[in-house]
Structure 1
Amino acid sequence: MPRLRPDLDPLRETLLLTLHARALDARSPRPILGDLHSARIAERIDYDFARLKVKPSLVCGTALRAKKLDEAVRAFAAAHPDAVVLDLGCGLDTRALRCDLPGGIDWYDVDFPDVVALRSQFLPEISHRVGADLTTSGWLDPLPRDRPAMIVAEGVLPFLPGAAFQRLTRQLTEHFRTGELALNGYTRFAAWSMKYHPAIKAIGISAAQGFDDAREPEAWQAGLTLADEQLLTRAPEVREFPQPLRAMTRAMGCSAWLSRQGTRVLRYRF
């Protein structure tokens, strides 16, 4: 099968970074997420992944946060068998395949139109695909309003300009009657420091959005209530990290402040 070379601008190119990280985890001796779908997709892409200079910390962090968000989706679907799932900024993520939810769930993968078109070249049509710019209005209108919604926003927060993420959150909670929002929550420092990460520098973008207090979104007038804050430095899966990353992560886990500068997964009810 011939390999495909995607034509992506720097913002969209970040989807290759997370895809590569998941693929490296799947190929590792002790995978955390074990996403073989991502590994197979990466093999079909003509791209110099080595230029991203992905380190074990990014591989493990990406795999662990994806696993925790998958768990949140499965738990919500188990409690709400008629739910709608939205995966915002989905890129080439294979979450719908990994979660393998029952037929009563309607899954919507949302990203820029050209990214949605790219997905069709690598992934089966097991979900509804919505091509949209998340900073615009109207793209939610065709989606059902009267069903509980599980909304996943992995990696979206830092890349939306200004208060766009807050506006997006209000649009989502106004559209859906009830549900949950799950995301990996960057502090302001963590989001700011992303631009110095070798992989982000290689792509050439700047990311700057974040919030420190997990309860801050409760003041966004979106009806959010914090349900859970997981500090992933304290997750049991850290035992699968390679050394010396495992020891460093466990040391960070002794401090809540340091842990929040790493990866945390936040869940909000509305």
Structure 2
Amino acid sequence: MHRWKPELGLIQETLLLTLHARARDSELPRPILGDTLSADLARRIDYDFGNLKVKTNVVVTTALRSRKLDDAVEAYVAAHPGCVVLDLGCGLDTRMRRCDPPPGVDWYDVDFPAVVNLRSERLHGRSHLIGANLTRSGWLTAVPDDRPAMIVAEGLLPFMPGDSFQALVRALTGHFPAGELAFNGYTRLAAWAMRYHPIMKTLGIEAAQGFDDAHEPESWEAGLELIEEQILTRAPEVARFPQPLRALTRLTARSTTLSRQGARILRYRF
């Protein structure tokens, strides 16, 4: 098998972490996401994934948050078959393949130019590719503004410095007539803890700020209204977690405060 070596910066290299986690989930006896395409892609990369020291809890929580965000996209597309979908900070995610939207949907995968170049070479599909730094303006001119939009941002929040995520959200909601925004939300404590996570330290990345109250984005002057806060420790898919992680997760689920420090999916309409 021919293997290729990606040339990426530190922030872009985090896409290999999530790719590896999705690949490992597909190899579990009871996978949550079952993304075999990610597994095939990871096998073709010349990279020492062992250096990332990805533990089982990261594997299953990454797969679970991806599954819930896929569910949000699929539900919106079913209700709005002519919509636009934006996958922000898409990395080498195969979400469009997993969701398989109808031909009337215009799907845009957005990430740094170096990442988009990798996608065009290694992950062929029918999505539109946009290479952009999401902390800067201007890239939205390439996206239609006359249709409702489903915007998904997985793992993006901690890598947006200062208030740049809020500014991005305002630009997005101002661009489209209506839509939904779904992302995995980090509390302030979770974002702070990420700075000391072995993976973040290995890659030399400092995480940005999070927020505690799921209603806080409603104050960003972006026209957001909270639809749902999913606390993932209480998701039925936890039954597929291997032991003893399954028991520990169910114990954590008894406390809303503790559960929010782990993983949650937030959905807003605008």
Partner of 2:50: 50
Q: How does 1:87-106 map to 2 (within 5 A)?
A: 87-106=87-106
Q: Does 1:22 align with 2:17?
A: no
Partner of 2:134: 134
Superposition deviation, residue 125 in structure 1: 2.7
Partner of 1:33: 33
Partner of 1:245: 245
Q: How does 1:120-199 map to 2 (within 5 A)?
A: 120-199=120-199
Partner of 2:254: 254
Aligned length: 270
SS of corresponding position for 1:92: coil
**One-letter amino acid matched to 1:203:** L
SS of corresponding position for 2:140: coil
Partner of 1:7: 7
Superposition deviation, residue 121 in structure 1: 2.0
- Whether the 8 Å contact between 1:188 and 1:208 is mirrored in structure 2 is no
**One-letter amino acid matched to 1:108:** Y
Partner of 1:112: 112
**One-letter amino acid matched to 1:159:** F
Partner of 1:263: 263
CA distance in 2, matches of 1:7, 1:124: 18
Q: How does 1:57-96 map to 2 (within 5 A)?
A: 57-96=57-96
Gap runs ≥5 in structure 2:
none
Q: How high is the TM-score relative to the length of structure 2? A: 0.99
| Aligned alpha-carbon RMSD (Å) | 0.7
CA distance in 2, matches of 1:27, 1:95: 18
Gap runs ≥5 in structure 1:
none
CA distance in 2, matches of 1:13, 1:33: 22
- Whether the 8 Å contact between 1:74 and 1:99 is mirrored in structure 2 is yes
CA distance in 1, matches of 2:187, 2:100: 31
Superposition deviation, residue 208 in structure 1: 2.5
Q: For each residue in 1:187-246, what CA deviation from the matched residue of structure 2 results, as whole angstroms up to 9, or x when unmatched?
A: 011011012222222222110321100000000000000000000000000000011100
CA distance in 2, matches of 1:125, 1:243: 37
Q: How high is the TM-score relative to the length of structure 1? A: 0.99
CA distance in 2, matches of 1:208, 1:132: 19
CA distance in 2, matches of 1:64, 1:250: 15
Percent identical: 67
CA distance in 2, matches of 1:30, 1:263: 20
SS of corresponding position for 2:193: helix
Runs of 4+ in 1 over 4 A off after TM superposition: none
CA distance in 2, matches of 1:150, 1:255: 31
CA distance in 2, matches of 1:9, 1:121: 18
- Whether the 8 Å contact between 1:96 and 1:127 is mirrored in structure 2 is yes
